[in-house]
Amino acid sequence: QAPNLPEWTESRVRALCAVSNILREKTGQNSESNKDAKVKVGNSLQAVGEAIGDIGIYYVEELEHYDEALQLKSEALGDKHEEVAETLFAMGCHHQRFQHSAFAQRCYEQALAIYKARRHNHDDTRVSRVLHNIGVMYHSKNQSGVAMKCFTKSLSIRKTALGDNDISVAE
């Protein structure tokens, strides 16, 4: 726990962790939980992790939720499912925010491989999103050439998928 936090922040994290404990109990009650239940609980745990991450200082608590979400989704859907890729992408963002670029890159690369295998990557905005974040990582490591390749490919995919006039192309 971080020192000098406003009381409401600490309360919010405790409440979020209480919610995740309820979710864990729900999946623990039936060890043979069906796929849909595991995916729903995985999505909920991921959302709790993201909410904790929004506070910005609870590194371990956030990561625990992502790890559990990844495990549940992988068990229910297999390691190559797009839901698993979404969690890997979120984990990559988490690691990138805390400057753990090796872990972030590993998560991004795994997510990218899943997306590319599942769809035509020339028009998948999720591929664009992952490439953009990888580019940001390379840029922060002063590897501008590699970063620019990622940004260029990301922009090309986004334009193909959404058209030149879509507002998100400007982002």
Q: The pTM is what?
A: 0.83
Q: Which residues of 60-94 are buried (b: 16+ CB within 10 A; e: fewer)?
A: ebbbbbbebbbebbbebbeeebbbbbbbbbbbbbb
Segments making up each domain of the chain, as ranges: 1-77, 81-171
Is 6's pLDDT higher than 70?
no
pLDDT for residue 126: 92
pLDDT for residue 27: 67
Q: How many C-beta atoms surround the C-beta of residue 119 within 10 A?
A: 13
Return the axis-axis angle of helices 125-140 and 101-118, rounded to nearest 10°.
160
Q: In CATH, what class is 81-171?
A: mainly alpha
Task: Provide the percentage of residues in the chain whose pLDDT is more than 70.
Answer: 85
> Under the phi-then-psi rule, with left for phi > 0, alpha for psi from -120 to 50, and beta for the rest, what region is 99?
left
Q: Which residues of 25-42 are buried (b: 16+ CB within 10 A; e: fewer)?
A: eebeeeeebeeeebbbbb
